A and B are shown apart, each in its own frame.
Chain A
Amino acid sequence: MLRIRCPYCQEARSEEEFSHAGEAHIPRPANPDASSDAQWGEYLHLRRNPRGPHREMWVHTAGCRRYFNVLRDTVNYEILATYAMGERPADEPEEGAL
């Protein structure tokens, strides 16, 4: 049972209040019609699924209903950072770790 800090409510809340919303930082192609079937398929379906730190989106379903980003280690479930939409975490881990 995770404890997640909502960057909008500015406090840690219990996992029951949240829903997972998939991998973060996957922008929608600006012009979908310009992408090939293969490119579009990657956008639709391909996800990183890393072992270790993973950037993902959660939504504070039972709370403020805001989506935000979570940097979560998929090995030990430690949450390394949570940050608002459009932000990057203050202590950016090394690129190689991601």
Chain B
Amino acid sequence: MSDGVGVACRESRVGAFLNLRGDAADPGFRNVAASVTGVELPVEPCTWRRHAGHAAAYWLGPDEWLLAMQNGVGVDLESRLRDVLDPRCSVVDVSGAHVQVELSGEDAGKVLQKSSPYDFDPRNFGVGRCVQTVFAKATALVAAREADAFDIVFRRSYADYLLRWLEDAAAEYNASDGRSP
């Protein structure tokens, strides 16, 4: 939810992240995955789907998705999925590998512009789009959640660096009302 003026950045609580590989053209695979996770796998490049308050699926590549589950434990979800998926698919619990933050506010887009060469203008990057790209001197997955609100997923080892980076980049937009991001 956009906070209006300035930029807010807060860590999102995600129960589990899973990396899923399989054949996007196989409806059976997609159905099985959706039945366990509750969310459709997006097949359109650079888009994401969500099941309100429950799960999100991000397109990472033509046969690769990142699942973000609000509830559940990564290893359990991994084995539940493995039990039902074709053995040629791959599912890996990566809950420890990622940190997710939500960046919001009317200047959130400007903070993204400072951080990444990708075009985050709403004309190009509307709600429902996601992109893996260069972010400062690391990489990140950025998803447009609402107008002026973005989910950003990055690797845990870069979290200290990127959170400080975001705070620094947002400072000029928050200076007037004294809020810190």
Contact = CB atoms under 8 A, between A and B. Distances in A.
Contact of A13 (B60, B64, B133, B139): B133
A97 interface: no
A65 interface: yes
Contacts of A11: 45-46
Nearest to B124: A11
24 contacts: A8-B61, A8-B62, A9-B45, A9-B46, A9-B131, A11-B46, A14-B117, A14-B118, A14-B134, A16-B117, A16-B134, A17-B117, A17-B133, A17-B134, A62-B139, A63-B131, A63-B133, A64-B45, A64-B60, A64-B61, A64-B62, A65-B60, A65-B64, A66-B62
A8 B45 CA distance: 7
B132 interface: yes
Interface residues of A, number: 13
Interface of A: 8-11, 13-14, 16-17, 62-66
B19 to A, nearest CB: 12
A23 B179 CA distance: 52
A63 B62 contact: no
Q: Most chain-B Cβ atoms within 10 A of its Cβ — which of A16, A63, A66?
A: A63
A14 B120 CA distance: 13
B139 to A, nearest CB: 5
A10 to B, nearest CB: 5
A62 B134 contact: yes
Contacts of B45: 8-11, 64
A10 B124 CA distance: 13
A26 B4 CA distance: 54
Which 10 pairs of residues, A with B, have the shortest CB-CB distance?
Answer: A64-B61, A14-B117, A62-B139, A16-B134, A62-B134, A10-B45, A63-B132, A9-B45, A8-B62, A16-B117
Contacts of B117: 13-14, 16-17
Interface in B23-76: 45-46, 60-62, 64
A17 B118 CA distance: 9
A93 B123 CA distance: 34
Contacts of A66: 61-62
A65 B141 CA distance: 13
A63 B62 CA distance: 11
B64 A64 contact: yes
Given A10-B45, A13-B118, A14-B134, 7 more contacts: A11-B45, A11-B46, A13-B117, A62-B134, A62-B139, A64-B61, A66-B62
B133 A62 contact: yes
Contacts of B131: 9, 63
